[in-house]
Amino acid sequence: MDFKTKLQKTIARNNSLLCVGLDPDSASIEGALDVVSFNKRVVDRTADFVCAYKPNSAFFESYGLDGPKFLKLTIGYIKGKYPDIPIILDAKRADIGSSSEMYARQVFDFLDADAVTLNPYLGEDSLEPFLKRKEKGAIILCRTSNPSAKDLQDIKADGEPLFIKVAKKVVAWDKKYKNLLMVVGATYPNDLKKIREIAPQMTFLVPGIGEQGGDLENTLKNGLKGDGTGLIISATRSIIYAQDPRSAAKKLRDEINKHR
């Protein structure tokens, strides 16, 4: 089953647009839990309320030589116990073609992720090793949620902000490959509306809700497709470090649905 089909089935089954990020920080993990046990605990308590999980490779890489093992074990656990829930690796990969080919093998063949976040700065040939995996999802950075996004993404090119140029390019690439999505931050809901007008049928991964202070109601108003889908709302710290991750996930899932 390809990523987009898997995602849509899980959205319908769990009535959810919520994606829970898995960013295990040793400084924030309390008690005797190791990294993989911490992730298993979060997954087991939230699986009824999500449309996807999004492990962030940076947090795993911070553990040194054990990091890839922890990430592989975490993904393997989700694949084994909750095989219908798609896994997005937040890795922001892309390089010259030969390097990207190796990144694609690591992400899709070794780790077995269903989708990956990608940086478009090097252009199509840097993304092609990922895009040619038609059953996988390629989620392109367009309008990121961080405060300094404007440093480059607002630069005008032929009279348009660069993020608008990126959005148009992603739509063009998707006509060829059929497996692209975009990252559009909830901290810029007005820009999300502009990007939705450019890509009326595309699904967006939306970080920035929760700790980053993104505007959930306006994000949904400006970003949803007519059928109430088209967004993957990502939240991490507000759920995985909550006293009760299950209650936190259900609360946010239900809050999202209230505005759908």
Partnered with residue 138 across adjacent β-strands are: 116, 180
Matching CATH number, 3-258, of 1.20.120.420, 1.10.150.120, 3.20.20.70, 1.20.1560.10 = 3.20.20.70
Per-domain residue ranges of the chain:
3-258
User: pLDDT at residue 166 above 80?
Assistant: yes
User: pLDDT at residue 30 above 80?
Assistant: no
Q: What is the DSSP letter of 105?
A: I
Catalytic pick among 72, 92, 168, 225: 92
Q: What does the alpha-carbon distance between residue 99 and residue 126 come to, in Å, rounded to a whole number? A: 8
SS3 at position 258: helix
The pTM is what? 0.96
Residue 162 near residue 155, CB atoms below 8 Å? yes
- Using the structure block, give the residue that is written with the tokens 């911070």: 62
156 is catalytic: no
Pairing of strands 115-118, 156-157: unpaired
User: pLDDT at residue 248 above 70?
Assistant: yes
pLDDT per position as a tens digit, 67-117: 999 999 999 999 999 999 999 999 999 999 999 999 999 999 999 999 999
SS3 at position 73: helix
CA distances from 4 to 84, 98, 139, 180, 181 (A): 12, 26, 11, 9, 9
